[in-house]
Amino acid sequence: MSEPFDVVDLIRTKRDGGELAEAEIDWVIDAYTRGVVADEQMAAMAMAIFLRGMNRDEISRWTAAMIASGGRMDFSGLSRPTADKHSTGGVGDKITLPLAPLVAVFDVAVPQLSGRGLGHTGGTLDKLEAIPGWRADLDNEAIVRQLEDVGAVICATGSGLAPADKKLYALRDTTGTVEAIPLIASSIMSKKIAEGTGSLVLDVKVGSGAFMKDLDDARELARTMVGLGVDAGVNTSALLTDMSTPLGLTAGNGLEVRESVEVLAGGGPQDVIDLTVALAREMLDAAGRTDADPREALNDGRAMDVWRRMISAQGGDPDADLPTAKETETVAAEADGVLTRLDAYAVGVCAWRLGAGRARQGDAVQAAAGVELHAKPGDEVKAGQPLLTMHTDTPERFGRARQALEGAVEIGGTAATPGQVVLERISG
């Protein structure tokens, strides 16, 4: 069968700053998925997009073509509206865990199809797999049934959703084109739109521990994704949130589950509570539940009840002890003063080197590995006082993990006021 286009012509068009036509975009995504366009040709196209960008029409069509490469979920038969959240990833970002059951308290279904961690950012599925018996893989029928019965599900994305994205994502990771905003936005939104949610809230992280270090870049990414959602008929908004310091007091799979359960029990670190509540309000407003009070549902145990049912429905034991690391080592403050900086990226790399993350897709992770913080920026500390504790089952990892923290901690003489977690809101 002859093909309607020559991929080299399309690469040249984009390389020279031209605009790809709708039919050209549809063909190149389909042909790449079928194997007609080779990896090295798509790598050249990705680099051309990285260097030359895409306009809104092109990004919208590119996203639609990625969705069309696979199936779509359908939640229209549910008795309640659906709302989903996507985070661009950070250090200590366990927000999905308390958020999904919290929103479900108010008769909103939360289909949280999630992924695994790579590099210094943790994956939601890796965290939950620290719970004995819990399973990530559900078929579509089981997802719909759990949404109707429990109201919330956190599980793996099915292989049938946007298969073109899975292929392109792996290619971008090895060709220096991960940071292209049109490709990030279309990757995230193709999966989220294919999931079939009625409304979507994006948590776009900004700062050293985030993908986007710069506020302007994060804002551009958020606006691009919100535009894609609106174009596809999904009620979409975004919060820009701070990731210059880790969220909460833990980074690592089992450690973050423990902290999430503390939040569901009405306690936990203030920044985790505040961000969970802010995102819950966004999701509930989008789903038409404008009079809901998510903070009250954390405090009175209703969110915990849904959590327990959600974990049990996927084979997990909500009462089981979480794994604990065989070895720990403490890092202490070197001077008296105020902790003025604790770099999120460094803590993420430290947790990763301890065994909490993976360098390549498919690597195993340690459920108990990670970093526990004993102070946050703005806290007074004394010389010799523990700042953080490293956890691992393989103590030979401590040396490299400690190296990741060099230059990450600053202690000064004056108290810095901790900044707001939510920096900005962007809507369609």
Whose tokens are 């286009």? That residue is 5
Active-site residue flag, 114: no
Six token digits for residue 351: 């947790």
Beta strand 370-373 with 386-392 is antiparallel
Active-site residue flag, 9: no
Q: How far, in Å, CA of 426 to CA of 241, rounded?
A: 11
Q: Which domains does the chain have, with CATH numbers?
A: 83-158+190-319 (3.40.1030.10), 327-412 (3.90.1170.30)
Examine the pLDDT at 122 and tell me if it is beyond 80. no
Instruction: Say how many C-beta atoms besides its own lie within 10 A of residue 396's C-beta.
Output: 8
Active-site residue flag, 86: yes
pLDDT per residue over 227-241, tens digit each?
A: 999 999 999 999 999
The amino acid occupying position 177 is: T
Give the sign of the dihedral formed by CA 95, CA 100, CA 104, CA 109: positive
Q: What is the dihedral of CA 419, 279, 298, 263, to 10 degrees?
A: -50
In the set 60, 187, 190, 208, the catalytic residue is: 187
- At 415, is the pLDDT very low, low, confident or very high (cuts 50, 70, 90)? low
In the set 80, 85, 120, 191, the catalytic residue is: 191
Active-site residue flag, 289: no
Quote the pTM value. 0.94
Examine the pLDDT at 61 and tell me if it is beyond 80. yes
pLDDT per residue over 202-212, tens digit each?
A: 999 999 999 89
Q: How far, in Å, CA of 190 to CA of 64, rounded?
A: 7
pLDDT per residue over 147-181, tens digit each?
A: 999 999 999 987 788 999 989 988 887 888 888 99
- β-strand partners of 83: 199
Which is nearest to 275 in space by CA: 206, 378, 216, 189?
206
The answer to whether 104 and 152 are in contact (CB under 8 A) is: yes
With 0-12 / 13-18 / 19 or more C-beta atoms within 10 angstroms meaning exposed / middle / buried, residue 217 is middle
In the set 14, 80, 85, 86, the catalytic residue is: 86
Length of the chain: 428
Active-site residue flag, 374: no
In the set 84, 165, 203, 242, the catalytic residue is: 165
